[in-house]
Structure 1
Amino acid sequence: MFEELSLKIDAALKKITGQGRLTEANISDTLREIRRILLDADVNYKVAKDFIDKVKEKALGKEVIASITPGQLITKIIYDELVELLGGGHSEIFLNPTGATIILVVGLQGSGKTTFSAKLAKRLKERKRKVLLVAADIYRPAAIEQLKILGQQVDVPVFSLEQKDARLVASESLKYVKEKGFDTLIIDTAGRLHVDEEMMKEVADIKEIVKPTETLFVVDSMTGQDAVNSAKAFNETVNFDGIVLSKLDGDARGGAAISIRSVVGKPIKFVSNGEKLENLDVFYPDRLASRILGKGDIVSLVEKAQETIDEFEAKKMEEKLRKNKFDFEDFLKQIKLIKKMGSLSSLIGMIPGLGSQIKNAQIDDKALVKVEAIINSMTKQERENPKVLNGSRRKRIARGSGTTIQDVNRLIKQFQEMQRMMSMMNKKGFFNSSNKNFKFN
C-alpha cells in the first residue's frame, strides 16, 4: 500500500541530501513537498499540517553534527514524528486473566469484520485460549454461514440462533460461554454500507448487554478519508478501544492508515495484510514508519520466518544445500513456506530498499500457484532427479498442470540456474555452518 508514498518521500528527501547544511529555506522547500505528497496520499489535511509543523520546528532547532548529513537528520526527525503520529508504541488487546475475555467487533459492511473475527480467533487459539465465535450479524445474506465456514477452518466453534435478533444472540452467547467453559468470546456484529442510527443503536445495545473487555473497530484501509469519518462516528457512539486496519496489502494511497490514529485518538491494534487467516499482525508504529520511509521492516520479516520455519526442517535443508542436493521437492516445500508467510508484495515491502528497486515489476502471487502446479504434476522421481525431464515428460507435466510447455521449460531453466548458483556458493564455503555470513535458521 505504501510503495508509491515511500518512493515520493524518498525523492523529496534526496533534494536536501546534497546540501551542506540545514537552512530555513531548504527545510521549508522539502517539507512543502512532503506535505503535498501526504495530501495526495489522502492524509487528513489537519493531520498533514500538524505533522509538517512539528517536523519543521524540530528541524530548525537542530545542529547538523559532522557524522551525519542534513538528509539523514531530517529523515530521522520525520521518522520520529511519524512513529508518534501512528501511536508511539504498540498496543495489543487486553485478555482478562480471571473471567472470560469478551471482544466486540464492529464496523461498516465490507470492512472485513467477519474475516478478522476468524483471524483473531485463530491467533488466540494458538495462544491456548478456548475461543467461541458469535454470529450476531443477522442482516447480511450468508453472514452466519460465512462465519461458520471460517470457524471450521480455524477449528473454533460458532454460536448462532435461528431467531433474527442480534441482542438475543449476544445475551444467549454469554450463558453458553459459562455453560461450556470458554474463556474468550469474539462477537461479529452487523454493519451497513454507511453509518445509520438503527445500526448504531443495535451495536450500543449489544455493548451494554455483553460489557466487552475490548471493542475493536475494523476499517477498510482502501476507503481513504471515508474510513476516518466512519471511525469518528462509531467512536462517538460506541467508544471503541482500538482499531483494526484491514486490506493493508491493497493498492490504495494509505492516507487513512496514517490519519486515523491522530483523528480518533484510539490505538491501531492489528493490521491485516491479506485474505489468508494467517495474515494478521500486531501493529507496530515504528515498523510502519520505517516502511513508509523506504527502510523496510526486517524485524517483522524475521518474526514471520521464525513462526513459519520448523527448526528440524531448516537443519535438513541446510544439509541439502551443503551437499548440493536441493531438488524440486525441496523447492516445493519452500514455496509452501513463503505462501504461509503472506503475499509476495507484503514480504518484498519488508526488505529494506527492495521495494524501490522493483517498483515497476508486477508482483503476482499467482505465479507461485503456477509453479506449484507444475511441480505437483511431476512424479517423485522427476522431482528428485530433474535431469530425467525430457521432452515427452515436459509435455505431460504441462498438460497435467494446465500450463504451457514454455512455462515448464522456463521453470526448469530457472531451477537449473539456481542449482548452478548454489553449487558455486557451496564451493566458496558459503553454506558451511562455520561461515558467519550464513545462518539458515
Structure 2
Amino acid sequence: MAAGSMLARLALDSREKRAWAMYDWANSAFWTTIIGAVFPEYYARALAPESGAGSEGRYALATTIALLIIAFLAPFLGTLADFRAVKKKFLGTFAIGGALAAACMFFVHPGEWLFGLILFGVANIGASGSVIFYDALLPHVADEDEVDRLSTSGFALGYVGGGFLLALNFLWITQPQWFGLPSGDGLSAEESSLPVRLAFLSVGVWWFLFSLPVLLRVPEPPGDEGAKVEAGGLIATTLSRLSTTFNELKRYRQAFRLLLAFLVYNDGILTIVRMAVLYAKSKDLGPQVVMGTFLLVQFVGIPFTFLFGQLAGRFGTKFLILTGLTTYCGITVLAFFMETATHFVMLGILVAMVQGGTQALSRSLFSSMIPRRKSGEFFAFFSVGEKFAGIFGPLLYAGMIYWTGSNQNAILSVAVFFVIGAWLLVRVDVAEGQGKIRAEEAAQST
C-alpha cells in the first residue's frame, strides 16, 4: 500500500507512465557522459590536442550543425507525426540511430577528430530528435493533474540513470586496473584511450536497452483520422498543416508567451551545461574534478527534481520556475568569482538543485496549455526554437571572450538570458492558458 501510494504521488502508478519516464533514464546517459563529462575532455586531450580557436571552433561547429539539422526537420516531422500517428516510430528511429552513433564512438581513436565529431553530431541529432516525440507523448500518458509530477519524475529518473552509468564510467576511466583494463605507464595511445571509448560504447547500449519500455508499452496516440490528404500529396499536406499550426500557436497566446520565455532562459541553462568544462579548464581544474562534479550533480539533482514536482502543486508551477531562474542568476555571479575546485563543486550543487526541476516544469507547463491532438506539432516548435535559440548562448559566451579576453566576463554575461526569460515568464497568465484548453476539450467531447 505504501509503495502504491508513493508511486501515485510521483505519477508513476501505471505501467505506461513508468515506461514513458524510463526514456529519461535511457537518454540521460548521452547527456551526462558524452555531452557533459567525458567527450569534451577526450576531444581536447586526445582527438584534437592542439590548443586554440581552431580545435574549439570545430567542436562548436559540429554542435551547431547538428542543432540546425534537427531544427529544420522538427516542424515537418512533428506535424507528420500528429497527422499519421507515428510519434513512437519517429521516437524509435531517432533514439536507435543516436544510440548506434554513440556506440560507434568506441572506434574513434586518438587523433581522429573528424570521425569523432561526425559521430558526435549524429548522436546529437538522435538525442534531440527523439526528445521531441518523447515530450509530445506526455499529455497523452498523464492526466492534467499529473503532468507536473510525471515530468519531474522523468527528469529525476534521468538523473539516476545518467548518474549511475557515469559513476561506472568514472571508475573504469580513473581506476582501469579494477576492471582488468590497461593501466600504468608505457601504454600506447589506443590502450590508454580504451576506458574512455568503452564509456561511449556503454552509452549506446544503455540508451538502446532502456528505450525499449517506451517503445513497447506506451500506446501510440491516434492521428487525425478525419484529415484529408491534399492534392499535392502527403508532403504538401504536412507543410500546409505546419503553416496552420504556427498560426494556431499564436492563437494560444499564453502558450506562445511561455514558449518565448523558455527559449530565452533555457538557452542560458544549456550554455552553462555546455561551457562548464571549458570554464573549468580556464581555471586549471583537472578532468577528475570535472567528472566528479558532474557525477555529484546527477545524484544531488534527484531529490530536488522530485521536490520541484511536489511543490508545484502547492506554490504553482510558474513560481517554482521563477525560483530556479533566480538561482541561476546567482550562479552566474558566483561563477564570476570562482577560483578553486571547491568553488566549482559548490556551483555544481547549486545547479543540481534547480536544473532538473526548472526544465521539467517548463515541459509540463507547456503541455498543459496546448491541445493534446497537436502535441507533436506544438512540441516540434518547442524543440525548433530551443535549437535555434541554443546557438546564441555559446555565441555570446565566445563573443565575450573575444572582446574582453575573460572567461569570467563570459560566464557572467549568461545572466542576461535568465533575467529576460524571467521577465517574459512573469507575463504568462497560466490560468488563462490552461482554461482555454479545458474549455476547448470539453466542447469537443460534447
- Structure with more contact order per residue of length (Cα contacts < 8 Å, sep ≥ 6): 2
TM-score (norm. length: structure 1) = 0.26
Larger CA Rg, structure 1 vs 2: 1
Bigger proportion of residues as helix: 2
TM-score (norm. length: structure 2) = 0.26
